[in-house]
Structure 1
Amino acid sequence: MMKDVQTKAPGKLYIAGEYAVTEPGYPAVLVALDRFIHVQVSPSKREYGTISSPALSEEALKWTRENGQVSLTEEVESADILLSALHTTEQFLLEKGQTLSYYDILIESELTSKSGEKYGLGSSGAVTVAVIEALLASLSYPVSDILLYKLAALAHMKLNSKGSFGDLAAAAYTGWIAYTSFDKEWVQSKQQTHSVSDMVQLDWPLLSIEKLTPPTSLTLLIGWTGSPASTEKLVGSAHAHKKKEPYTAFLTESKACVERLIEAFRTQDKDSLFEEVRRNRKLLQQLSQENHLMIETPLLKTLCEIAEAYHAAAKTSGAGGGDCGIALIDSLQYKETIEGEWKKHAIVPLPFKIYQK
């Protein structure tokens, strides 16, 4: 029997390792934030289900099952990820002997500003994880972090996403994490011969998700420069230079830098932690110069320079290009000063905290 459930999954920010993490085996450090996608699933009393999501449509969307798959009664452009999450999870549940009835889904987001602009916190990843968790929980199926992550990754694989799926790992595991992407080609080839329930049981080559504990005095400041960036576009542009020597050098150096950063978390070595965050910024600056990418916009550069003037370690976060910049500080004495200076330059300090479920 299906039951009413509510779940939530957090948005994420990259601390280090962006761009390189889209290659299998290259690490990044991410953090989950206390801004969520909320999902409610409840059994439907009708011969169809509904999906209510302001991001997709003003009206509730109807769905039925065609050839055993969730299918909307009208086409909606941006519903691909949601449908893929439902298809993947339903397939898994059927393989596990569960009976599926119709249900209603309500999706609400806190990952945009009041005027509806995205902060760049990875809403598609959070939606995927929250929907999968809600569906599993509504049928009382035991949920683990790794199951959530793998089902979400399989759902995104169906859409040929170029991302690293780090947002899925952050949404599923929460807190601070070290993340390394898996070998997508291996997973794709296994999918030809394995069921969804088999796929989640396999060890995926190169995949690594490790929870990290930050030094207690470490505080993360986030500044939003107000112009959302297209991750797919920026990462695509960087990938166009994949075969060139500078890009290979960038990957090698990013890997070494982030591995030292992860070690600094393990040993609670704040000096090294700050040093590697600053080094990662330099590597991203080199990458953008060599490939004519706009990762660190003038406003993001200002954000970093202000923070650095008050002993913070600062850099762009994620694809760059205008979303968020971050600053790590070791004591709260400069927090208000940094955020005050940011505001003078039209940089919005975001009051988000690290979310650990």
Structure 2
Amino acid sequence: MVERRAFSAPGKALLVGGYLVLEPEYKSYVVALSARMHAVVSTSEAIQKGNPSIQVRSSQFNNDCWTYQLQQTNGYSLSERDNKKNPFIEKVLLNVLNYFDPCISNLKDVNIEIFSDSEYHSQSESSLKRNSLKKFAFHTKSITEVPKTGLGSSAGLVTVLTTALASVLRKELNPYSKADLETIHKLAQVAHCQAQGKVGSGFDVASATFGSIIYRRFMPELISNLPDMSVSKIQIYKEKLKHLVDETDWNFTADRIRLPDNLRLMMGDVNNGSETTKLVGKVKAWYREAYPSSSEIYENINSKNSAFIDCLNEINNLSKNKQIYDGMLTAINSGNDEAINSYTALKQIRQSVNGIRENFRLITKESGADVEPLVQTTLLDACMKLNGVLTGVIPGAGGFDAIALLTTDTTDLRSQTDGKHDFKDVSWLDLQQADIGVLEEIPSHYDNLRSD
């Protein structure tokens, strides 16, 4: 009998906390997005008992497929049948298998189908397939050849793949259980860092797991101190991994939050995208060379980040008073600066974002990294003149990734920007914020996808 389960995990937008999120002393505000990565997992009796395989397929991207044969000697190792490399898939499989450590003779063959919502990738040269419940863009190119929009596809993939395989090895796995979610989170963080070849901040995996959060990172040594996964050290690795996941306090923050009622996040893709690693490398080099003035800039940004978070909390509180809150929404919708600034919380949230952007432009000038390049400054300034826009940023590391705007939920950006020169390079993504991270889905909802 074929057993099936399905899961999804959201993308992310780091509204405030870019660069500072790398340091354990700073908090960031991360909004999970409605764009999700999906995994449908099924098992069947192994064709050769004691010699199971795991197949991961992405029919959306040129029918990409990776098939791994498993070996167990003190711990798990694997080999891809055609010697194809995908570090994100490989590290997930190795960490999940070695953490749960099932007896190989009891393992079934595992098949995992991956799906990616359209907003993660450029939609040029793609065609839609859908059923009555789901729709996905199918590409003629492999996944590595299709430009990304910077919404956290690799973190979402690692998180949902971790959940899917874990559900095979722990039948009772419940993604709404705090304990199971923490296990998923830690395993996904380890796999994601290893696949990237560095220990990043982890905010993207945390958001994929937990949803919209206030985030403060874990110490990178937790992961970097793990031994390597070579066959000779796999027994030690397995023991250290179990200790790290089950018994170690990671001392990080992932407190769930939600945007105020009637406000929503809108993302505008500028069809470029940035190499985050290069941006971060340049900013880190600048920080070292410009110290201590660079530290003062970071502290200034942190104070503005904290003010932004406090203002959103205040707006959440004000939303309980219908008369006041309706007036605030009317002011934002009017686009009139005087009306907006008559509300202290709205005025302060704009001031905090202006301060953050001003400091990022200073870093851009001093470091040579395009944290807020001129073309994005021009675009964001034009967006601030639109009715219904409260504020806007380039989320995360900045650069040429999609911009993020906080607007009222009645704002129609397309009607205000269509045909206007200032917005000719912007595609408004069909997104909204998501409060929840990992979700269990219904497997049959992914069946019978057909072309329009």
* TM-score with structure 2 setting the length: 0.71
SS of residue in 2 equivalent to 1:24: coil
Distance 1:85 1:125 in 2: 11
Structure 1 runs (4+) deviating above 6 angstroms are: 95-98, 190-193
- Retained in 2: the 8 A contact 1:2–1:43? yes
- Map of 1:69 onto structure 2: 77
User: Relative to 1, partners in 2 of residues 1:288 and 1:344: Cα closer, same or farther, differing over 3 Å?
Assistant: closer
SS of residue in 2 equivalent to 1:15: strand
Distance 2:244 2:122 in 1: 37
- Map of 1:278 onto structure 2: 354
- Retained in 2: the 8 A contact 1:64–1:73? yes
- Map of 1:312 onto structure 2: 390
Per-residue CA deviation, residues 32-57 of structure 1 (Å, 9 max, x unaligned), is 11111111111144343322125876
1:211-290 alignment runs, 5 A limit: 211-243=256-288, 244-245=290-291, 246-268=293-315, 269-290=345-366
- Distance apart, 1:336 and its partner CA: 4.7
- Retained in 2: the 8 A contact 1:342–1:348? no
- Map of 2:182 onto structure 1: 146
1:83-162 alignment runs, 5 A limit: 83-94=90-101, 100-110=107-117, 111-115=120-124, 116-138=146-168, 139-140=170-171, 141-143=173-175, 144-159=180-195, 160-162=197-199
User: Relative to 1, partners in 2 of residues 1:96 and 1:154: Cα closer, same or farther, differing over 3 Å?
Assistant: farther
SS of residue in 2 equivalent to 1:241: helix
User: Relative to 1, partners in 2 of residues 1:247 and 1:98: Cα closer, same or farther, differing over 3 Å?
Assistant: farther
Deviates more, 1:127-136 or 1:109-118: 109-118
- Retained in 2: the 8 A contact 1:342–1:349? no
- Distance apart, 1:13 and its partner CA: 1.3
* % identical equivalent positions: 21
Distance 1:190 1:254 in 2: 33
User: Relative to 1, partners in 2 of residues 1:347 and 1:3: Cα closer, same or farther, differing over 3 Å?
Assistant: same
- Retained in 1: the 8 A contact 2:214–2:255? yes
Number of aligned positions between the proteins: 354
SS of residue in 2 equivalent to 1:328: strand
Rg larger in structure: 2
- Retained in 2: the 8 A contact 1:278–1:314? no
Distance 2:412 2:5 in 1: 42
Deviates more, 1:298-307 or 1:51-60: 51-60
User: Relative to 1, partners in 2 of residues 1:121 and 1:333: Cα closer, same or farther, differing over 3 Å?
Assistant: closer
**1:197 and 2:242 matched:** yes
Distance 1:40 1:331 in 2: 32
Distance 1:30 1:356 in 2: 10
- Retained in 2: the 8 A contact 1:32–1:355? yes
RMSD value, Cα: 2.8
- Retained in 2: the 8 A contact 1:26–1:251? no
- Distance apart, 1:189 and its partner CA: 3.4
- Map of 1:350 onto structure 2: 429
Distance 2:93 2:272 in 1: 31
1:328-347 alignment runs, 5 A limit: 328-330=406-408, 332-333=410-411, 335-336=413-414, 338-340=416-418, 341=420, 344-347=423-426
1:179-190 alignment runs, 5 A limit: 179-189=215-225
- Map of 1:321 onto structure 2: 399
Distance 2:279 2:302 in 1: 20
* TM-score with structure 1 setting the length: 0.88
- Map of 2:63 onto structure 1: 58
Per-residue CA deviation, residues 102-161 of structure 1 (Å, 9 max, x unaligned), is 311111212213224311111100000000111122332344332222111111233432
Letter in 1 for 2:184: L
Per-residue CA deviation, residues 241-295 of structure 1 (Å, 9 max, x unaligned), is 2323243223222322222222233333444333323322222211111101112
1:12-91 alignment runs, 5 A limit: 12-45=12-45, 46-47=47-48, 48-54=53-59, 58-67=63-72, 68-77=76-85, 79-91=86-98
Gaps of 5+ in 1: none
- Distance apart, 1:210 and its partner CA: 1.1
Distance 2:60 2:165 in 1: 20
Distance 1:281 1:153 in 2: 29
User: Relative to 1, partners in 2 of residues 1:99 and 1:342: Cα closer, same or farther, differing over 3 Å?
Assistant: farther
SS of residue in 1 equivalent to 2:356: helix
